[in-house]
């Protein structure tokens, strides 16, 4: 008799062009926003204050872009990465319509790449996932690739297909929220006098502060996104694995790094794109996360004199302050302390 439970998909279950409709639609509430703030402590004014957001022409404080990312991502886990060894990277991520409390998000994915690993026991699956709100507007469209176990090591390998992905989302493809006008933007209330003109390509910023991850916090956060990956929750299963400990969800590190980046990038109020990213080393409860950022590029936006964009590379490291800017070694491999290498684009006001 067929089982009624979901064991998750293994590598040989995926096919190029496969369309997956993920359960369960999720209505995002003000409670989610408050809990997200309690977990990470982000302080960006636009997402913190209805009044501040209203002065910029928005209907209220939008949901933090990374909370949107996590909800959209979490929908995909039971179908894409329940049997994953590791989430390997991101690319071509573009944030669309802003999300507000009361919006309902649902996710679909398309398999766009497959490559069996040389050990014959695992393979890499590339998917493009799209999150939409209740009216069908895209709120996030991104690609990720994940290493997934095979159910049967003897199953034949599929034809290798590796998608071509852009190095970064072009400035002309960045979405600006409808109605956003920055004439009333108050840098003092936002927490910093530094606007687009004050940053230079190649500049490195030590975000100074650190935050220690507690076991209960990372599990609560991952449950908030309805992410069911067993590596984050099941200590009994972890005892049989390589690390003997539950792994921290990589998105938890992204949110911590983004929150820490407020100290130095307080006016970078909105994520517009995820250009690339890698979780370079595992993170566990008890680790303390620090972060630093490099300005990769300054971008002018079409027809916007009041708003610019910065392409940033944020590095998160564990148990090592970022004053020395820990990074890759001469061999190109990330230092053991580096747990995240994240390339993304933010919107930031320009001087009138």
Domain that holds residue 74: 11-152+167-172+191-349
Residue 253 has φ and ψ, to the nearest 5°, of: -70, -40
Number of H helices, E strands in the chain: 9, 12
Residue 256 lies in a domain: yes
184 domain residue, yes or no: no
Q: 186 in a domain, yes or no?
A: no
Our measurement of the distance from residue 41's CA atom to the centroid of its chain's CA atoms, rounded to an integer in Å, reads 16
Specify the pLDDT at position 83. 82
Secondary element (H or E) of residue 126: strand 122-132
Burial of 19 (0-12, 13-18, 19+ CB in 10 A): exposed
Question: What is the helix (H) or strand (E) element at residue 318, kind and residue range?
Answer: strand 307-318
DSSP secondary structure string for all residues of 269-292: -EEEEEEEEE--S---TT-EEEEE
Give the number of domains in the chain: 1
Contact 201, 295 (CB under 8 A): yes
Whichever domain contains 70, its CATH number is 3.10.129.10
**Strand runs (DSSP E) across 133-269, as ranges?**
138-149, 204-206, 211-212
Dist CA 210 CA 320 (whole Å): 9
What does the alpha-carbon distance between residue 166 and residue 174 come to, in Å, rounded to a whole number?
A: 14
Q: Considering only CA atoms, which of 192, 85, 96, 182 is closest in space to residue 138? A: 96
What gap in Å lies between CA 236 and CA 93, rounded to an integer? 35
251 — phi, psi (to 5°)? -65, -25
The pair of three-digit structure tokens given for residue 87, joined into one six-digit string: 């989430």
Q: What is the pLDDT of residue 1?
A: 58
Report yes or no on 5 lying in a domain. Answer: no
Classify residue 2: in a domain, yes or no: no
3 state SS of 65: helix
Give the integer Cα–Cα distance in Å for 303 and 307: 9
Q: What is the pLDDT of residue 241?
A: 86
Q: Inter-axis angle of helices 250-260 and 65-80, to 10 degrees?
A: 170
Per-residue pLDDT of the chain (352 residues; tens, 9 = 90+): 567 888 889 999 999 999 999 999 999 999 999 999 999 999 999 999 999 999 999 999 999 999 999 999 999 999 998 888 888 899 999 999 999 999 999 999 999 999 999 999 999 999 999 999 999 999 999 999 999 999 999 999 999 999 999 999 999 999 999 999 999 999 999 999 999 999 999 999 999 999 999 999 999 999 999 999 888 999 998 898 889 999 999 999 999 999 999 999 999 999 999 999 999 999 999 999 999 999 999 999 999 999 999 999 999 999 999 999 999 988 888 999 999 999 999 999 999 7
d(CA 91, CA 124): 15
DSSP-assigned beta bridge partners for residue 108: 21, 130
């Amino acid at each position: 008799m067929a089982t009624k439970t979901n064991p998750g998909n293994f590598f040989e279950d995926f096919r190029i062009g496969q369309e997956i409709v993920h359960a369960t639609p999720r209505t995002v509430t003000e409670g989610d926003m408050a809990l997200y703030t309690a977990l990470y402590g982000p302080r960006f004014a636009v997402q913190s204050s209805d009044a501040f957001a209203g002065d910029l022409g928005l209907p209220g404080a939008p949901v933090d872009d990374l909370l949107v990312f996590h909800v959209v991502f979490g929908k995909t886990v039971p179908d894409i990465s329940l049997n994953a060894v590791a989430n390997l990277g991101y690319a071509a991520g573009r944030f669309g319509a802003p999300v507000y409390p009361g919006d309902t998000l649902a996710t679909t994915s398309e398999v766009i790449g497959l490559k069996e690993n040389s050990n014959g026991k695992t393979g890499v699956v590339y998917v493009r996932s799209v999150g939409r709100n209740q009216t069908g507007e895209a709120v996030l469209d991104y690609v990720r690739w994940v290493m997934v176990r095979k159910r049967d090591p003897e199953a034949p390998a599929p034809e290798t297909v590796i998608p071509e992905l852009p190095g970064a989302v072009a400035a002309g493809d960045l979405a600006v929220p409808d109605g956003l006008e920055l004439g009333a933007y108050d840098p003092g209330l936002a927490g910093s006098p530094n606007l687009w003109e004050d940053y230079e390509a190649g500049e490195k910023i030590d975000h100074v502060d650190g935050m220690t991850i507690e076991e209960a916090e990372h599990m609560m956060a991952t449950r908030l996104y309805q992410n069911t990956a067993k590596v984050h929750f099941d200590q009994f299963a972890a005892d049989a694995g390589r690390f003997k400990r539950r792994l921290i969800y990589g998105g938890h590190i992204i949110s911590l790094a983004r929150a820490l980046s407020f100290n130095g990038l307080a006016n970078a109020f909105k994520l517009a794109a995820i250009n690339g990213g890698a979780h370079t080393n595992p993170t566990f409860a008890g680790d303390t996360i620090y972060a630093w950022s490099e300005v990769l590029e300054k971008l002018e936006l079409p027809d916007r004199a009041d708003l610019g964009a910065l392409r940033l590379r944020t590095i998160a490291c564990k148990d090592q302050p970022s004053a020395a800017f820990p990074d890759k070694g001469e061999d190109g491999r990330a230092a053991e302390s580096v747990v995240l290498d994240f390339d993304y684009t933010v919107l930031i006001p320009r001087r009138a």
